[in-house]
Amino acid sequence: MTKLCKRLVEAHKKIEEGRQYALKEGIALFKETATAKFDETMEIHIRLGVDPRHADQQVRSTVVLPHGTGKTKKVLVLAMGEKIKEAEEAGADIAGGEDLVTRISGGWLDFDAVIATPDMMKSVGRLGKVLGPRGLMPSAKTGSVTFDIADAVKEVKAGKVEFRVDKSAIVHNAIGKKSFTDEQLFDNARTLLQAVLKARPASVKGSYVKSVSLASSMGPGIKIDVAAAQKEIAGIE
């Protein structure tokens, strides 16, 4: 069994064993237990009542967090002609065409998000094995394959994040930093949860959100009361 350091032992003591917290309570507790010597990230983990093996039970979409994640993403745009200039003017960190596809094929991955125009997808499709496992492959479903390059770049820079269910039927996302206010973290958590609820597949029967937990980068998990959280994000006291 892994021995916990003194800092983590003290953090665990602040969490009542077996208790599920309201969302706002969980956020306050995150602040208390995020005691590392850096600005820890708040992560949210949502276990869903879906079977990811079935195509009609996939959960994947995007949402713009009102306060961002606390990290400025380095955006790469793959486009042609005037769309390259449009991307640069909108704030893309890197923009280009076939030359960048070749660099990525060679192992270059110095970026956090990829946007592509539809006419580049024949070339970009070759990068599936490189970008796919890292969650960077552009997709029309998430709005990262589009001719509206300027809007797409601005959304990512403003805090647009993708959420998707993994093989264990869990959605994992970073939604802020310890340096955020409680209200900012709550706004981000509420926005993501609302988006996940909206993305419920029609084929899913029974309970959709099975569990929710919060955690800091280096801290313990905090279990959230799902029913209480749904009332909170709906504004029901």
Q: Which of 184, 158, 188 is nearest to 173 (CA)?
A: 188
Q: Are residues 59 and 115 in the same domain?
A: no
Shared domain check, 200 and 92: no
- Domain count for the chain, please give it: 2
Q: Are residues 48 and 92 in the same domain?
A: no
| 204 belongs to a structural domain | yes
Range of the domain at 131: 75-157
Question: Residue 192 — φ and ψ, nearest 5°?
Answer: -65, -45
Query: What's the pLDDT tens digit per position in 140-195?
Result: 988 999 999 999 999 999 889 999 999 999 999 999 999 999 999 999 999 999 99
pLDDT in tens, 92-151: 999 999 999 999 999 999 999 999 999 999 999 999 999 998 889 999 988 999 999 999
Rounded Cα–Cα distance for residues 91 and 113 (Å): 13
- Is residue 172 domain-shared with residue 201, that is, in the same domain? yes
Q: Same domain for 168 and 54?
A: yes
Residues 166 and 60 placed together within one structural domain of the fold? yes
**Could you give the 3-state DSSP secondary structure of residue 122?**
helix
Q: Which amino acid is at 34?
A: A
| CATH number, position 181 | 3.30.190.20
Per DSSP, 93 falls in state: S
Domain boundary among 124, 157, 190: 157
- The answer to whether residue 85 scores a pLDDT higher than 70 is yes
Domain boundary among 125, 142, 157: 157
In a domain? residue 63: yes
Regarding whether 212 and 171 lie in a shared domain, the answer is: yes
Are 58 and 173 within one domain? yes
**Residue 84 sits in the same domain as residue 151:** yes
**Alpha carbons 208 and 92: distance in angstroms, whole number:** 37
Contact 126, 102 (CB under 8 A): no
Instruction: Among 157, 186, 208, identify where a domain stops.
Output: 157
Specify whether 215 is located in the same domain as 114.
no
CATH of the domain at 127: 3.40.50.790
Domain assignment present for residue 4? The answer is no
Asked if residue 129 is part of any domain, the answer here is yes
Q: Are residue 148 and residue 166 in the same domain, yes or no?
A: no
- Identify whether residues 82 and 149 lie together within a single domain: yes
pLDDT of 1 higher than 50: no
